């Protein structure tokens, strides 16, 4: 077959280039057609203890992500008073099929009750493993132990989050209450639960990590 050249091939290349520019945006639009569905699985810090519903962490986070152009829906699966054992017990009905990712925020109540960090580690890792078996990615929101619990307890508790994140290749936000813990004006009178302003600060600080998590989900 005689090889084509000259004006004919120029027209072919031009048509191909035009077709490519038409197809690429269409593919991107299709990829963005459905929102990324996240579940915030946690305790009172996620549930929004003492706050109106619209000031709870998942709601404020969803609003902040949408303001940055992300198409997301975040379900609030926070239960006040929940321990890591409680989160594990209700995992299947708290995280329904079709969930694209989970922000896991548990362990604070384990620490406040002085529970063995080995138990907390085992529960959180089991949650991660069960979600991975369902092909649901996890972002781990860590917690630090109160320093009055002693050096040994603090070391064992604080290390469980980075250890699990490293073992299972998770996106990790080391300390959920970063910038808020210990700040009287940013917490309710109990000194443990963030005010609406405190939640806003948490969201502002955690936002880049959540965006990294969304990027990982999008690459799947």
Averaged pLDDT for residues 196-216: 98
pLDDT tens-digit series, residues 85-108 = 999 999 999 999 999 999 999 999
pLDDT at 129 over 60: yes
pLDDT tens-digit series, residues 146-196 = 999 999 999 999 999 999 999 999 999 999 999 999 999 999 999 999 999
The residue annotated as part of the active site, out of 46, 84, 110, 193, is: 193
Half-sphere exposure for 20 (CA within 13 Å, toward CB) = 6
pLDDT at 29: 33
Active site residue 80: no
Domain 36-218 has what CATH class?
A: alpha beta
Percent of the chain with pLDDT over 90: 85
The residue annotated as part of the active site, out of 44, 46, 84, 94, is: 44
pLDDT at 32: 55
SS (H, E, C) the chain: CCCCCCHHHHHHHHHHHHHHHHHHHHHHHHHCCCCEEEEEEECHHHHCCCCCHHHCHHHHHHHHHHHCCCCEEEEEEECCCCCHHHHHHCHHHHCCCCCCEEEEECCHHHHHCCCCHHHHHHHHHHHHHHHHHCCCCEEEECCCCCHHHCHHHHHHHHHHHHHHHHHHCCEEECCCCCCCCCCHHHECCCCCCECHHHHHHHHHHHHHHHHHHHHHHHCC
Give the global pTM.
0.85
pLDDT at 33: 80
Active site residue 168: no
The residue annotated as part of the active site, out of 5, 152, 185, 190, is: 190
Residue whose structure tokens are 């009178």: 189
pLDDT tens-digit series, residues 8-55 = 433 334 444 443 433 333 323 335 589 999 999 999 999 999 999 999
């Amino acid at each position: 077959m005689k090889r084509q050249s000259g004006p004919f091939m120029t027209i072919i290349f031009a048509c191909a280039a035009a077709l490519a520019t038409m197809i690429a945006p269409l593919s991107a639009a299709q990829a963005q057609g459905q929102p990324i569905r996240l579940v915030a699985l946690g305790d009172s810090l996620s549930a929004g203890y003492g706050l109106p519903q619209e000031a709870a962490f998942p709601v404020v986070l969803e609003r902040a992500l949408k303001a940055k152009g992300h198409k997301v829906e975040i379900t609030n699966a926070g239960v006040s008073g929940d321990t890591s054992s409680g989160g594990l017990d209700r995992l299947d009905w708290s995280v329904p099929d079709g969930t694209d990712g989970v922000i896991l925020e548990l362990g604070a109540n384990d620490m406040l009750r002085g529970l063995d960090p080995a138990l907390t580690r085992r529960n959180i890792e089991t949650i991660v493993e069960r979600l991975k078996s369902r092909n649901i990615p996890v972002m781990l929101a860590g917690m630090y132990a109160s320093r009055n619990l002693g050096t040994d307890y603090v070391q064992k508790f604080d290390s469980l989050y980075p250890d699990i994140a490293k073992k299972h290749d998770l996106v990790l936000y080391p300390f959920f209450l970063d910038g808020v813990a210990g700040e009287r004006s940013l917490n309710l009178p109990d000194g443990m639960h963030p005010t609406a302003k405190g939640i806003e600060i948490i969201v502002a600080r955690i936002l880049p990590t959540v965006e990294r998590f969304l990027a990982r989900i999008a690459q799947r």
